[in-house]
C-alpha cells in the first residue's frame, strides 16, 4: 500500500463535510489500507479520510500501541454517526497530524455510542469510552469539517496563532509527508 501526504491546517478539504459512502468498492478498500499505512507512518492513532485528501465519510483508529490498549483492534469506520454522548465530560490533551506540534486540552464526553459500517458494509453499533471514545470523537469531528482547535478558548487560539500560520504556510519540520497545495484532493 502507500503512504499518502497529510493535509494540514489551511487545506480547504479539512473544512468540508464528508460525503456519505454508498458502496465499498476496491478503491474504498485501497483508501482505507492507505489510511492505516499513512497513520502508522506518522505515529498517529486516528486518521480521517479528509486528512489524506478524500471527501469520503471514513476514519480509521488504531490505539493498540498505547499502554493499556494493546488488545484493542484497529478499526475502520465508514459513515460513522455518534448517536449518544455521556453527560460526563473529561478534559484531555489532544493533538492532530494535520496540526503538527500543537497540543491542547479539549473537553469532550467521556463515552459515546457510535453507529458505522464496516468494510463489508455491515452496520455496527459500538459503545466506546476512554481513549477510544476520545479518538473517535476527534476523527468524527474531522468528517464534519471541525478541528480540535475550534474547541479551545479564544485566548488559546491567540496563543497558537503563529504556530498555525507556520503550519498553513508549510514552514514546519515533521517526519511525515504533507500536502504541498491547499487545494489538494484525491481524484
For residue range 31-40, what is the model confidence (pLDDT) as tens digits? 999 999 999 9
Is 139 known to be catalytic? yes
Higher per-residue pLDDT: 144 or 1: 144
Catalytic, out of 123, 139, 173, 180 = 139
- pLDDT for 172 equals 93
Rounded to the nearest integer, the mean pLDDT of the chain is 95
Instruction: Determine phi and psi for 12, rounding to 5 degrees.
Output: -60, -35
Give the integer Cα–Cα distance in Å for 148 and 153.
11
* pLDDT on residue 187: 47
Length of the chain: 187
- Catalogue all structural domains in the chain, each as residue range(s) with its CATH number: 12-168 (3.90.45.10)
Between 180 and 161, whose confidence is greater?
A: 161
SS3 73: coil
- Are 156 and 104 in contact by the 8 Å Cβ rule? The answer is yes
Amino acid at each position: 500500500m502507500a503512504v499518502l501526504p497529510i493535509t494540514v491546517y489551511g487545506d480547504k478539504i479539512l473544512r468540508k463535510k464528508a460525503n456519505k459512502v454508498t458502496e465499498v468498492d476496491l478503491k474504498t478498500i485501497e483508501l482505507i489500507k492507505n489510511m492505516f499505512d499513512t497513520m502508522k507512518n506518522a505515529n498517529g492513532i486516528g486518521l480521517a479520510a479528509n486528512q489524506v485528501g478524500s471527501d469520503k465519510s471514513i476514519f480509521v483508529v488504531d490505539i493498540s500501541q498505547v499502554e493499556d490498549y494493546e488488545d484493542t483492534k484497529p478499526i475502520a469506520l465508514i459513515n460513522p454517526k455518534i448517536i449518544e454522548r455521556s453527560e460526563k465530560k473529561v478534559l484531555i490533551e489532544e493533538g492532530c497530524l494535520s496540526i503538527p506540534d500543537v497540543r491542547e486540552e479539549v473537553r469532550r464526553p467521556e463515552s459515546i455510542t457510535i453507529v458505522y459500517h464496516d468494510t463489508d458494509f455491515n452496520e455496527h453499533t459500538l459503545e466506546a469510552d476512554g481513549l477510544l471514545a476520545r479518538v473517535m470523537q476527534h476523527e468524527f469531528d474531522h468528517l464534519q469539517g471541525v478541528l480540535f482547535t475550534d474547541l479551545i478558548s479564544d485566548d488559546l487560539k491567540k496563543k497558537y496563532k503563529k504556530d498555525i500560520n507556520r503550519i498553513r504556510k508549510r514552514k514546519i519540520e515533521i517526519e511525515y509527508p504533507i500536502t504541498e497545495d491547499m487545494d489538494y484532493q484525491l481524484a
